[in-house]
Amino acid sequence: MLKQTLLPLFLAAVLAAGAAQAQSAMPVSHPVADPAPRDPALKPVFDQFGGKAGLVALMDDFMANLMADPRTRPFFEPVDREHVKAELVDQFCVILDGPCTYTGKNMERIHRGLDIHRSQFNALVEDLQKAMDKHGIPFRAQNKLLATLAPMHREVVTK
């Protein structure tokens, strides 16, 4: 008899404790992705981009395209574009296994609050492709970089 009344109580206590634990163990936010994942396999691609000097030149045209594009201009008009270009050079340089260090913010943090839509993300990628074409970067090399950048939409696109 005692056993019969205590068992449900015991089970209820265990379930309650389990639920409380599950709640406290619940992640409050998803893990932050590395904004500049170095990939040693991309070293030949770094050379195809013309090394760091090539990336600096590329970023000038990329930013010029972003400013000429009505879909992206409003985002870049009010910010320190020289700073963004320098961070992008370091970010791409690290991804392509170049001799650089990325000290900028992570992708979620820097783009938080900008309300970026998927179509605006795609517009930026198009503007980057245009700049890479102008610099004669081989299509396959372009795609290798883009494949690393593409998953970042998860942290950049919030709308």
Which stretches of the chain bind ligand HEM, using CB under 6 A? 72, 75-76, 79, 83-84, 87-88, 91, 104-105, 110-111, 114, 116, 120-121, 124, 149, 152, 156
CA Rg value for the chain: 23
Position closest to ligand HEM via CB: 104
We find the least distance from the C-beta atom of residue 53 to ligand HEM, in angstroms, to be: 19
We find the least distance from the C-beta atom of residue 55 to ligand HEM, in angstroms, to be: 12
We find the least distance from the C-beta atom of residue 143 to ligand HEM, in angstroms, to be: 14
Give the alpha-carbon dihedral of 11, 12, 14, 20, to 10 degrees.
Answer: 160
> Which C-beta is closer to ligand HEM: that of 54 or that of 85?
85
**Helix, strand counts (H, E) of the chain:** 9, 0
> Which C-beta is closer to ligand HEM: that of 8 or that of 150?
150
> Which C-beta is closer to ligand HEM: that of 15 or that of 79?
79
> Which C-beta is closer to ligand HEM: that of 16 or that of 154?
154
We find the least distance from the C-beta atom of residue 76 to ligand HEM, in angstroms, to be: 5
Q: Which amino acid is at 21?
A: Q
DSSP class per residue in 125-145: HHHHHHHHHHTT--HHHHHHH
State the Cα–Cα distance between residues 127 and 139, nearest whole angstrom. Answer: 15
Q: Are 137 and 49 in contact (CB under 8 A)?
A: yes
In this structure, what DSSP letter does residue 44 have? H
State the Cα–Cα distance between residues 20 and 14, nearest whole angstrom. Answer: 10
> Which C-beta is closer to ligand HEM: that of 54 or that of 59?
59
We find the least distance from the C-beta atom of residue 92 to ligand HEM, in angstroms, to be: 8
